[in-house]
Amino acid sequence: MSSETTTGAMEPARSDVERLHVAGLHAPTDAVLSVRDLNVRFNSENGVVHAVRGVDFDLMPGKTLGIVGESGSGKSVTSLAIMGLLPPTAQVSGSVRLKGRELLGLSDKDMCKYRGNDLAMVFQDPLSSLTPVFTVGTQIVEALTIHHPTMSRTAKEARAVELLAMVGIPSPKDRLKAFPHEFSGGMRQRVMIAIAIANNPRVLIADEPTTALDVTIQAQVLEVLHTAQEETGAAVVMITHDLGVVAGMADDIMVMYAGKPVETGAVDDIYYNPRMPYTMGLLGAVPRVDVAEKSSLVPIEGMPPNLLHAPTGCSFAPRCPLASEACHDGEPALAPVDGQGLHRAACIKSEALGGDVDVHDVFAAPPVPVSRFDAVPRAERSTVLQLKDVRKHFPLTRGALIKRRIGTVKAVDGLSFDIREGECFSIVGESGSGKTTTLLEIMEFHADQDGEVVIGGLSNKQAADAKTKAKMRRELQMVFQDPTGALDPRFTVYEVLAEPLQNAGMDRGAIRKRIMELMKLVGLQPDHVNRFPNQFSGGQRQRIGIARALAVNPKLVVLDEPVSALDVSVQAGVINLLDHLRAELGLSYLLVAHDLSVVRHISNRVAVMYLGKIVEIGAVDRVFDNPRHPYTRALLSAIPVPDPQLERTRERIILQGDLPSPLQAPKGCNFATRCPVFAALPPAKQEKCLTLEPPLEAAASATDQQFACFFPDGELDEDMLVVHETADHHAP
């Protein structure tokens, strides 16, 4: 990356791009992929949207570039423009050179020579990126055939087996004949990576490759990507919104905002010495799984700008707490920080932001709220929810006409826990561990259930008539994962919030008053009540969802992944709001989340679930700082941390395989099939794990922590441990 962008990426006319190349400002010799002044425009109902506004970067062979930013910042559009996969209605201009050859302007047919060959891509959703009617083998061979028509069939098959083995699929030879539906999500993503690297690409673009996966699977897939890069020597463009994911992998980072790179530099510069307020905000907005200290997160208020109109000043200025008059005249260009060429930021104040500026001061993070219950010992607080031995088993049947029962899915298997007033209790685990079923069992609340659910003193076993149910609904409300899906698109906010109140039999005047209160409570403007949900941003919609849950003044709010559909910057605002409401209204939360960092930040107690059972439960700091069950240990080690130094040197447990299917569930300890401790045990001790079910027992010291494992501090199997000692290859 050299000096031409200092003149402002927008300045040179499009035809000048060629001149830049000729003038040698472009470095064709060393960069495998170089992008200059990439612009993408789309037509929409509202006019022309300028989605990408002048992206420049050079990618060196074997290096990894991480592109991060909120949704709508133009990350994915950039990658699709490079691949030539944008719809024909998009207008793309600028220059994309692969090994010195221009790609933009090539016809679809000409692009096919590069796509899948020198330039490969891994998509976000592994479930839909493989064709369901062909075997995995056919699809890998297809990728080979297209670019190597002369290759013999046996050679192609041998190569396919080799590829599958490379991405860590067990018994690859047999798996060639398997269909995509026979693979789990993580396995399919591995197959996608295998297809992408089949022709030894020079550049591999990974667009949010792990966003749709569980943390343990994410760790596996990232590991596979790492291996793939080492094997092929490809340069990788890693697009993600998760700053943790790229911390350990990337060499360079490009932070994008409103279609423009706003800060670029080596990974350490960006994480430890950010100079653009947006980058600082992004870093401050991410909760840390490895830090116990409680501090509020940094919310970035507002929404990304509308790209219909060219911004007159800095595009971040409307959301920037440091914005001054000067920020509003003219968009700042990327300029080198501290005079060194590699770390560049597009901020007129970047010089002043160095050193020890605290992001919490910059963004005015709210103080940590204190609940009146925090001072009361847990045992003295009243119980708002109690589960006693709750089970939910689904019969597994086969046969079309006569259904035979061939097994049982134990979605929830003997769950007991309680939630006290004013506390936040979280359930974590991979998908398929029974978290959501547990929530549904609580929300269902009827007498036929296996096990007892007591909500605010009302048990499901005693009277589960309509009256008791209505009473229970006033004690317990729910906030959904997807704020868009949870609000009827045809209701105004007023109608959304009025529904539970009307249902509770309130009169018109009281409803109006309560709605105004609620809007203020969740930090929305009261005069927005007549708008429809689609006129709000994701974070605001989730606030409406929270307001609706709080309408009838419940004691307990069930939160089903409340922030997982939101951008990090918005997520921080919602988490802070939840924290604040818990303290102010004395609420209790039952939180289900897969993001352990969020859980650590917000909860008081946590339960780790695996295959319908709690394997470890206790105070959040105890469990996270001193995990005893090997599954908890693996989960915690799989969470990426937005700290490059730590990421590179961290020891990581990579669990083998996926959740076992219910039919193969072991007799003894559920976790034995994947357990790193079990794998390292001598056969005599393994016998115990396989035959006996470990009970949930309290840890030796009288602390709030229980776990279900016979060998809690056993040694871990070395095959499942991975450490990247790559500290020096990251030098710029």
Shortest approach of another protein to residue 144 CB, angstroms?
A: 32
Q: Which two tokens stand for residue 474?
A: 């006033």
Q: How far is CA 493 from CA 254, 485, 506, in A?
A: 38, 14, 17
Identity of the residue, 265 or 304, whose beta carbon is nearer to another protein in the bound complex: 304
Identity of the residue, 222 or 544, whose beta carbon is nearer to another protein in the bound complex: 544
- Tokens 């309408």 sit at which residue? 551
Q: What's the CA gap between 184 and 167, in Å, rounded?
A: 14
Shortest approach of another protein to residue 460 CB, angstroms?
A: 15
- Are the CB atoms for 629 and 615 separated by under 8 Å? yes
DSSP 8-class letter at 304: P
Identity of the residue, 594 or 674, whose beta carbon is nearer to another protein in the bound complex: 594
DSSP annotation string for 581-619: HHHHH--EEEEE-S-HHHHHHH-SEEEEEETTEEEEEEE
* Bridging pattern class, strands 424-428 and 605-610: parallel
Shortest approach of another protein to residue 200 CB, angstroms?
A: 30
Identity of the residue, 179 or 494, whose beta carbon is nearer to another protein in the bound complex: 494
CB count, 10 Å around CB of 282? Answer: 28
CA 227 to chain CA mean position, Å: 22
Shortest approach of another protein to residue 304 CB, angstroms?
A: 10
Identity of the residue, 253 or 577, whose beta carbon is nearer to another protein in the bound complex: 577
Shortest approach of another protein to residue 48 CB, angstroms?
A: 7
- For the chain, state the CA radius of gyration: 27
Identity of the residue, 486 or 587, whose beta carbon is nearer to another protein in the bound complex: 486
Q: What's the CA gap between 300 and 282, in Å, rounded?
A: 8
- Are the CB atoms for 488 and 496 separated by under 8 Å? yes
* Bridging pattern class, strands 91-98 and 33-44: antiparallel
Shortest approach of another protein to residue 327 CB, angstroms?
A: 13
Shortest approach of another protein to residue 545 CB, angstroms?
A: 8
Identity of the residue, 154 or 534, whose beta carbon is nearer to another protein in the bound complex: 534
Q: What's the CA gap between 599 and 603, in Å, rounded?
A: 6
Identity of the residue, 524 or 641, whose beta carbon is nearer to another protein in the bound complex: 524
Shortest approach of another protein to residue 615 CB, angstroms?
A: 29
Shortest approach of another protein to residue 681 CB, angstroms?
A: 44
Q: Three-state SS across 51-76?
A: EEEEEEEEECCCCEEEEECCCCCCHH
Identity of the residue, 89 or 664, whose beta carbon is nearer to another protein in the bound complex: 89
DSSP annotation string for 205-237: EEESTTTTS-HHHHHHHHHHHHHHHHHH--EEE
- The HSE-up count of residue 370 (CA atoms within 13 Å, CB side) is 4
- Are the CB atoms for 554 and 501 separated by under 8 Å? no
Q: What's the CA gap between 288 and 265, in Å, rounded?
A: 23
Residue 693 gets the label, from left (phi > 0), alpha (psi -120 to 50) or beta, of beta
Side-by-side strand order, sheet with 335-336: 119-122, 203-207, 235-240, 64-68, 252-257, 260-266, 344-345, 335-336
Expressed in angstroms, the distance from the first to the final Cα of the chain is 12
Shortest approach of another protein to residue 440 CB, angstroms?
A: 9
Which residues contact another protein (rule: CB under 8 A)?
14-15, 18, 43-48, 89, 91, 93, 104-105, 301-303, 306, 308-309, 318-319, 364, 366-367, 369, 443, 469-470, 473, 477-478, 480-482, 485-490, 499-500, 503, 520-521, 523, 525, 532, 534-535, 545, 548, 552, 576-577, 580, 584
CA 116 to chain CA mean position, Å: 27
Shortest approach of another protein to residue 299 CB, angstroms?
A: 9
- Tokens 């968009």 sit at which residue? 331
Identity of the residue, 538 or 545, whose beta carbon is nearer to another protein in the bound complex: 545
Shortest approach of another protein to residue 555 CB, angstroms?
A: 15
Identity of the residue, 302 or 336, whose beta carbon is nearer to another protein in the bound complex: 302
Identity of the residue, 3 or 46, whose beta carbon is nearer to another protein in the bound complex: 46
Identity of the residue, 519 or 654, whose beta carbon is nearer to another protein in the bound complex: 519
Shortest approach of another protein to residue 26 CB, angstroms?
A: 15
DSSP annotation string for 326-368: GGGSSPPPPEEGGG-SS-EE--TTGGGG-SS--HHHHTTPPPP
Identity of the residue, 193 or 472, whose beta carbon is nearer to another protein in the bound complex: 472
Shortest approach of another protein to residue 147 CB, angstroms?
A: 25
